A and B are shown apart, each in its own frame.
Chain A
């Protein structure tokens, strides 16, 4: 468990892009002091000034914080290792599949040192894990989890999604990992309003990896990302056009299939929509506040893990402004 924070805790934020600045704004709204670091100091100053955060010149200066939120582009591994070795709890919003896989490998070390490290604390993975736990608790038996995401936050996030679409995807299917090619498995997904329907495809996304770890008994886990024909065609090439500087509207949708008390088949669908950076900030700030208030056991956790009390986190996220939506109607079987 982390030490009881002082009367006004201080949280470090690494990376002052679209997501980092939203995280800083939300933390200061919750009366948390923020120390910001960015590789480009002028960017950190521009983000920190409006919300009254302080800027540090070296990331090492953040080790004295009560917690540190990592919002910079992948990889996060080295910085996470540095911070928890100094005893600083970490919340990482990174969604790079390879990076997440390596971060999970730090679990034993983090558990021994008693420092909580929360990985995949963004929109997806992150909010998706909270929604999955919310749905799983409504089922007597959980068989399948299927995640779909739409939208990107800042330019680094857009590049990450572009690369993911051209990379090998990951899925959990009847007790084994599958690695279908990215860009395959088109499915029309109806996201929460106002996002609506978009074609989604398999990609190298972190959700299957983290959800299978949080729900070890689940039979199938898949994740898809929305993409246009041009996105698919150019996925294996460098990005042809520069990504939107400020991101845009995003959404996450989680579908859980399982059985009810009488063995009847049930499909439950829930999701959220908003700007991608905002959805990421809701998940990461709710997690950070929970770490500050009640702490967590040492080790590497993700948001669907029971150890993090996901329903409390989801409640906290909604009190920060997250609008949770559920699909009312008959969930139709898809090709997932």
Chain B
């Protein structure tokens, strides 16, 4: 019973931390310079 309680506490803690990271995390950083521009391809 004690083991089960500890497992549940550990799981809920892990879930809370993962949730916080998921919501507050910044993830990857997209390129800050440059962009896309349309180009034309001339016939060969």
Contacts and interface: CB of A to CB of B under 8 A. Distances in A.
B34 A311 contact: no
Interface in A242-301: 270-271
Given A188-B28, A190-B30, A199-B28, A327 B44 contact: no
A328 interface: yes
A318 interface: yes
B44 A315 contact: yes
Contacts of B30: 188, 190, 196-197
Nearest to A325: B36
A330 interface: yes
Interface string A324-336: 1111111010000
A327 B43 contact: no
Interface residues of B, number: 17
B28, B29, B41, B43 interface centre (most CB from chain A within 10 Å): B41
B28 A327 contact: no
Contacts, number: 55
A328 B36 contact: yes
Nearest to A199: B28
A328 B34 contact: yes
Contact of A324 (B29, B31, B41): B41
Contacts of A134: 41
B34 A325 contact: no
Contacts of A140: none
A49 B2 CA distance: 70
Contacts of A332: 31
Interface of A: 134, 188, 190, 192-193, 196-197, 199, 270-271, 309, 311-312, 314-315, 318, 323-330, 332
26 contacts: A188-B27, A188-B28, A188-B29, A188-B30, A192-B36, A196-B30, A271-B36, A311-B43, A311-B44, A312-B43, A315-B41, A315-B42, A318-B40, A318-B41, A324-B39, A324-B41, A325-B36, A325-B39, A327-B35, A327-B36, A328-B36, A329-B31, A329-B33, A329-B34, A330-B34, A332-B31
